Copies of this chain bind each other. A is one copy, B any other.
Amino acid sequence: MTHSRRAFIQKLSAGAGGILLSGQLKSQVKEDRKLGVALVGLGNYSTNQLAPALLQSNLCRLAGIVTGTPEKAEKWCKQYNIPKENAYNYQNFDEIRNNPAIDIVYVVLPNAMHAEFTIRAANAGKHVICEKPMALNVKEGEAMIKACQTAKVHLSIGYRLYFEPHHLEMRRLGMEKVYGGVKMIESSLGFQMADPQSWRLNKALGGGGAVMDLGVYCIQGIRRTLGELPTALTAQGYVRDEAIFKGIYEMMMFQMEFPSGAISNSTTTYTSYIDRLYATTGYRWFGLEPSYNATGAKGNSSAGELTFKTPLFQQIAQMDNFADCILKNQKSVAAGEEGLIDLKIIEAIKRAADTGKKVKLSW
């Protein structure tokens, strides 16, 4: 990215204020002036969500790829008109530092590779957005934040729901106590893990089963609605199929206590489908079902339906926000520190399940 291009976008976005909504400046920003994003890892999420979202982003464009499969590189370069010099593999990835077309590296790899590639991207001088959960553990998450601070690059987590209208409304209703203060909040997420070979079931790659993968959504939904962090929690882990779930929990329930007195209860599971966020304040309530899936939420409340028009891809707003933050040199609401909070909670949940004891948290 040339200095003049950055200055041009800076000028444009300065007038927009706050979170830039997708399409807001569509006609104003020329394609070659958008921030260039390189996707690291071309699996299902990159293929079906991120790449199409980037086509509709106002401030970002898909400018590069990193993949270990030469055939994929060729296919993607052709499909997305990516110059061959912007296609990297995991060995030559660090050379990306010399490529001015890449402003942002988006890490879409198995959890175990998040820390390494975030740190390598930061060391290459690129801003980084990393998929959730941020890393395998708190120690890795802290190292990632430190590397980005040292390199003076921005770090964000792929928390698309921080920018999703139904979730923003849940947060507004909860934090502004529109229906009164939330006293109890339930959130559960589960699906049937059909592929026993998935990296998500490999402890070394995925890091911890259902709660690692799905718990981060429930935790986020609950704490963002309450605008609070939990001070204590309990958890119960279950394994039904020990041949598939080795050293990780297939199902995890957890209960969190918040300073306001609100208590949450959650189920995360790889056995079967559930997708829900529900907050109740007394006589009144508000919630989403489905809540977390990438294809759209549906809201309801004691006062009637909560329905918002949403773009086909939630990642458009997520990417536009990150680009906007980079251009304005502001911390994103979905910065690395948010990912670290969730990792701390997940570690506490695992410890509570392993020990059967209540775990206290301090912030």
Binding site for B on A (CB under 8 A): 183-184, 186, 188, 190, 192, 234, 236, 238, 240, 251, 253, 255, 257, 261, 263, 265, 267, 269, 271-274, 278, 280-285, 302, 356-358
Query: What is the CB-to-nearest-CB distance from A161 to chain B, in angstroms, rounded to a whole number?
Result: 21
Chain B residue numbers with a CB within 8 Å of A234 are 236, 356
- Whether B257 lies near A186 (C-beta < 8 A) is no
- Whether A278 lies near B285 (C-beta < 8 A) is no
- Whether A282 lies near B272 (C-beta < 8 A) is yes
- Would A271 and B265 be within 8 Å (CB), given that A183-B240, A255-B253 are in contact? no
Query: What is the CB-to-nearest-CB distance from A77 to chain B, in angstroms, rounded to a whole number?
Result: 36
A273 to B303, CA, bound (A): 13
- Whether A184 lies near B265 (C-beta < 8 A) is no
- Whether A281 lies near B285 (C-beta < 8 A) is no
- Whether A273 lies near B282 (C-beta < 8 A) is yes
Chain B residue numbers with a CB within 8 Å of A255 are 236, 253
Q: Which of B183, B272, B282 contacts A184 (CB 8 A)?
A: B272
- Whether A240 lies near B267 (C-beta < 8 A) is no
Chain B residue numbers with a CB within 8 Å of A269 are 183-184
- Whether B272 lies near A281 (C-beta < 8 A) is yes
A263 to B284, CA, bound (A): 29
Chain B residue numbers with a CB within 8 Å of A265 are 188, 253, 265, 267
- Whether B278 lies near A274 (C-beta < 8 A) is yes
- Would A263 and B280 be within 8 Å (CB), given that A184-B274, A272-B285, A358-B356 are in contact? no
- Whether B188 lies near A186 (C-beta < 8 A) is yes
- Would A238 and B251 be within 8 Å (CB), given that A186-B274, A188-B186, A273-B283 are in contact? no
- Whether A267 lies near B183 (C-beta < 8 A) is no
Chain B residue numbers with a CB within 8 Å of A280 are 190, 271-274
Query: What is the CB-to-nearest-CB distance from A275 to chain B, in angstroms, rounded to a whole number?
Result: 10
A285 to B238, CA, bound (A): 20
Q: Which of B186, B188, B261 contacts A240 (CB 8 A)?
A: B261
Supply 11 A–B pairs (Cβ within 8 Å), ascending by A: A183-B240, A183-B272, A184-B274, A186-B274, A190-B280, A238-B257, A253-B255, A265-B267, A273-B302, A274-B280, A356-B357
A186 to B268, CA, bound (A): 11
Chain B residue numbers with a CB within 8 Å of A356 are 234, 356-358
